[in-house]
Amino acid sequence: MIIMDYHKPVLLDESVEGLAIKPNGVYVDVTFGGGGHSVEILNNLNDEGKLFAFDQDSDALENAIDDSRFTLIHENFRHLKRFLRFNGITQVDGILADFGVSSHQFDVAERGFSTRFEADLDMRMDQDSSLSAYHVVNEYSEEQLRSIFSKHGELRSAAGMARLIVEKRKGEPIVNSNQLKEVLIRFLPKHKENKLLAQLYQAIRIEVNDELEALKDFLLQAEKLLVSGGRLSVISYHSLEDRLVKRFIRNGLFEGEPEKDMFGRVEVPFKRIGKLIIPSNEEIKSNSRSRSAKLRIAEKF
């Protein structure tokens, strides 16, 4: 058994159990992070089993596991199919995804993910990416900002926030989190400040990392890669992600309903396994970041 000193991921036991692991199977952890899920998966594999993990964050490479059964791929999970093929893999028995921002990313101030710290506007999960939060805040048009804040942050004051940012940046660029907060202070009443800032950060982060389109790319490829009977175990943290996952598991589409044949039947790629799983009260007490997590498990037909 592998034992590592790592932060325990949200819904660790439930998400790995949901894979119904075959000891000699091939599995993928598409959000490696601190390695917690991967360690648990490896502990369920025998010497013939294999685990491939993905992470676009260079910092995650420091957590690579020294195990002959394990391969860490430094890429975004939206390129899942291509890089598995590079490693000779065209079918897998299970795929796990945990779409939350990692504890490391939240806790390192200069990464700019947390509302707790003053930091330059960054929020890049891939530190080699050319698009950062700075570019979004200082270069996007008022219309683009309004759309991002509304769609990705579900902010009621999206239009006013966008208008004020564009007005204020005419004098000098907005370069850090404190400046952004000061610009928008009129929209941040004390009793709602943290919640609204979290929604704002979410909106900008989703745009910087193209998160929703990457999620769609991943789900489409996961369907093709899983063998019949293979399992998909996905943890989401906000309604935008969870809605896409739920709809895709239910009918293989992100919008609308599948077409019925002449007998009124529809062909869907997955069978839902169990009900929606959320953290226990005990887990939420020990890790407040887990409170919004939702786990969905599906099996490929």
Residue 98's H or E segment, with its range, is strand 92-98
Whether 6 is in a domain gets the answer no
Mean pLDDT of 55-60: 91
Query: Rounded CA gap, 194 and 153, in Å?
Result: 13
Neighbours of 196 (CB within 10 A): 19
Q: Looking at 181, 209, 237, which one is the last position of a domain?
A: 209
All residues at 6 or more sequence positions from 111 whose CB lies less than 8 Å from its CB, including other chains: 105, 119, 122, 123, 124
Mean pLDDT of 77-95: 98
Backbone angles phi, psi at 279, to 5 degrees: -65, 150
Task: Say whether both 28 and 93 belong to one domain.
Answer: yes
Whether 3 has a pLDDT exceeding 60, the answer reads: no
Number of structural domains found in the chain: 2
Q: Residues 207-221: pLDDT tens digits?
A: 999 999 999 999 999
Task: Say whether both 167 and 94 belong to one domain.
Answer: no
All residues at 6 or more sequence positions from 82 whose CB lies less than 8 Å from its CB, including other chains: none
All residues at 6 or more sequence positions from 31 whose CB lies less than 8 Å from its CB, including other chains: 37, 54, 55, 77, 96, 97, 98, 99
Whether 98 has a pLDDT exceeding 70, the answer reads: yes
Query: Rounded CA gap, 241 and 212, in Å?
Result: 7
Whether 4 is in a domain gets the answer no
Task: Say whether both 47 and 192 belong to one domain.
Answer: no
Q: Are 57 and 102 in contact (CB under 8 A)?
A: yes
Whether 104 has a pLDDT exceeding 50, the answer reads: no
Helix H segments across 113-192? Answer: 133-139, 142-151, 158-168, 177-183
Q: Looking at 209, 228, 258, which one is the last position of a domain?
A: 209
Domain membership of residue 29 as a residue range: 12-103+212-300
Query: Rounded CA gap, 174 and 180, in Å?
Result: 6
Q: Looking at 157, 184, 209, which one is the last position of a domain?
A: 209
- Tokens in use for 138? 């200082």
Task: Say whether both 65 and 156 belong to one domain.
Answer: no
Task: Say whether both 43 and 117 belong to one domain.
Answer: no
Task: Say whether both 93 and 220 belong to one domain.
Answer: yes
Task: Say whether both 200 and 115 belong to one domain.
Answer: yes
Task: Say whether both 216 and 204 belong to one domain.
Answer: no
Residue with tokens 């926030």: 161
CATH classification of the domain holding 235: 3.40.50.150
Global pTM value: 0.92
Task: Say whether both 247 and 220 belong to one domain.
Answer: yes
Whether 2 is in a domain gets the answer no
Q: Residues 223-253: pLDDT tens digits?
A: 999 999 999 999 999 999 999 999 999 999 9
Q: 3-state DSSP call for residue 100?
A: coil
Task: Say whether both 276 and 227 belong to one domain.
Answer: yes
Q: Which of 89, 37, 19 is nearest to 231 (CA)?
A: 19
Backbone angles phi, psi at 147, to 5 degrees: -65, -45
CATH classification of the domain holding 130: 1.10.150.170
Q: Are 199 and 115 in contact (CB under 8 A)?
A: no
Task: Say whether both 35 and 158 belong to one domain.
Answer: no
